Amino acid sequence: MTMKIAFIGGGNMGEAMLAAVLEKRLAAPADIAVSDVSEPRRDFLKKQYGIAVTAESRDAVAGKDVVVLAVKPQNVPEVLAGLKGCIKPSQLVLSIAAGVSIDTISRGLAHDSVVRAMPNTPAQVGFGMSGWTAAAAVAPVQKRQAQTVLAAMGAEIYFAVEALLDAVTAVSGSGPAYFFLFAESLIDSAVEIGLSRPDAENLVRQTMLGSAQLLLKSGKSPAELRRAVTSKGGTTERALNVFEEGGFAGLVSAAVRAAHLRAQELGQKT
């Protein structure tokens, strides 16, 4: 499936989607346009990918099949106002603005064919996870277009209930930061007990990569894998006891709930 795509916003996630679309040959460079307010950013994207760039969103969307809104939530009202009346009924709008509802986008654009998605930063290396949903007016062919674009960055899951995307944001959207924080803390702890920082970084990176692959490919639950590596009276059990005594599971739950609440708040502000 090939298509013509406009990207409104040329930030990191927009660029990740752009690179994935080109790598998977879902669109040719000549069929892609990016609008961004930053001239240096436009110049970089044009040189790096050979696509058309413009400062005007209205110019970027002309003649495109899919319009990707890849802007920050706080910039959405301004972007919608600038594009209102420019999107044709046959065009699909795919928004990745965190917390911004389909209704907000649809009303702001006076346009019904809207898909809302929440990808995450591993999309930059082809291992992203995207949760997405679609307005009732989105045609089957447009759903396939959205699914194809999101799948180019990694995996994707469709949710029939839009409210669940705020939960997706809290879990997989923000999730990489939780993972990186744990890695950072584990590396620092390794240095504290005598390892060099380069060795600690290598140990942690490969341990996390291997653990993720084992979880993905073993078919076992995280609890099963945890029990398998935890010997009675061993070092792992001692460490896990400390996590439990410190309320680790409760902290994770509280963090996810806080992110979920913030995603809902962002939606209310736009």
Res 133: pLDDT: 98
SS3 215: helix
Residues 20, 61: one domain? yes
What residues make up the domain containing 140?
5-163
Mean pLDDT by 10 residues, the chain (270 residues): 91 92 95 95 96 95 96 91 93 93 95 96 94 97 96 97 94 97 98 98 98 97 97 97 97 96 80
Residues 119, 204: one domain? no
Res 2: pLDDT: 86
Token pair 């007990």 is found at: 193
- CA distances from residue 182 to 21, 179, 201, 249 in whole angstroms, order as listed: 31, 5, 12, 13
End-to-end CA distance of the chain: 33
Residues 86, 21: one domain? yes
SS3 111: coil
Token pair 């460490």 is found at: 239
SS3 2: coil
Give CA–CA dist 104/74, Å, rounded: 13
What are the residue ranges of helices labelled H in 110-163?
Answer: 140-151
Residues 196, 108: one domain? no
Res 196: pLDDT: 98
Q: What is the CATH number of the domain that holds 159?
A: 3.40.50.720
Question: Does residue 168 lie within any of the structural domains?
Answer: no
